[in-house]
């Protein structure tokens, strides 16, 4: 139920960003989130796609931030998404690395990775590539959160194309170029 509901209320003034895990999705991000939010590390709450997907307003802000070319305007949107979180891993963080590092200059940075680019490409392709297809869109278009989830994927693909010149983000080449 992680990506279907999220009842947490985050006070944007309670926590300050301390750790940015900026590796791609499918690089142990759920495990990292659990560790960061544990009683041992006590870096809760941790921003993760699981806190975006159930909320149409947050999904819309992420899409708007991806499309915003003006740094100040984009960072203003990102503050609305990230303020109040003590840590971050997973999407959308990896899309906004320069912004998040500028916004939270004192945060520790972790680049979480997979054992190989091929392992990542297989994992991400098997789990995420479906969400940007019409086979996902058509059965879910009646629900705003699902329509926006589809739109996030399509917008993210376009961002990868613009930034890296790679048409298919579910490849070892993208993983390697992102992590360089």
Which tens digits make up the pLDDT trace of 123-172?
999 999 999 899 999 998 899 999 999 999 999 999 999 999 999 999 99
Cβ 85 vs Cβ 46: under 8 Å: yes
pLDDT of residue 169: 93
Query: Any idea what the Cα angle at residue 25 is, between residues 20 and 30, rounded to 5°?
Result: 75
Q: Write the burial class of residue 88 (CB in 10 Å: 0-12 exposed, 13-18 middle, 19+ buried).
A: buried
Cβ 116 vs Cβ 89: under 8 Å: no
Tell if the pTM clears 0.85, that is, is over it: yes
């Amino acid at each position: 139920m992680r990506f279907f509901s999220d009842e947490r209320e985050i006070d944007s003034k309670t926590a300050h960003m301390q750790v940015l895990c900026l590796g791609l999705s499918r690089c142990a991000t759920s495990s990292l989130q659990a560790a960061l939010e544990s009683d041992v590390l006590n870096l809760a709450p941790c921003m993760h796609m699981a806190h975006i997907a159930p909320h149409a307003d947050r999904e819309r802000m992420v899409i708007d931030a991806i499309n915003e070319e003006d740094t100040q305007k984009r960072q203003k949107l990102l503050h609305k998404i990230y303020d109040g979180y003590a840590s971050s891993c997973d999407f959308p963080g990896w899309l906004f690395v320069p912004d998040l590092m500028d916004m939270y200059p004192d945060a520790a940075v972790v680049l979480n990775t997979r054992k190989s680019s091929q392992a990542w490409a297989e994992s991400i392709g098997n789990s995420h590539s479906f969400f940007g297809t019409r086979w996902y869109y058509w059965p879910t278009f009646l629900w705003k959160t699902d329509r926006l989830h589809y739109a996030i994927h399509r917008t993210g693909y376009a961002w990868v194309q613009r930034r890296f010149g790679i048409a298919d983000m579910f490849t070892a080449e993208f993983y390697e170029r992102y992590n360089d």
